[in-house]
Amino acid sequence: MSSRRLAVWVRPGAARPAVGGVRDDGTSSLLIVAVRERAIDGAATEAVLVAVASAVGVKRGQVHLISGFTSRAKILEIDQVPPDFDERIDALRGELP
Q: Report domain 4-91's class.
A: alpha beta
Cα 56 to its chain centre, rounded Å, is 9
> pLDDT grade, residue 96 (50/70/90)?
very low
Q: What are the tens digits of pLDDT across the range 2-42?
A: 899 999 999 999 999 999 999 987 778 999 999 999 999 99
Residue-range domain boundaries for the chain: 4-91
Q: What are the tens digits of pLDDT across the range 39-91?
A: 999 999 999 999 999 999 999 999 999 999 999 999 999 999 999 999 999 99
Helices (H), 5-97: 43-56, 85-94
In sequence order, the β-bridge partners of residue 5 are 77
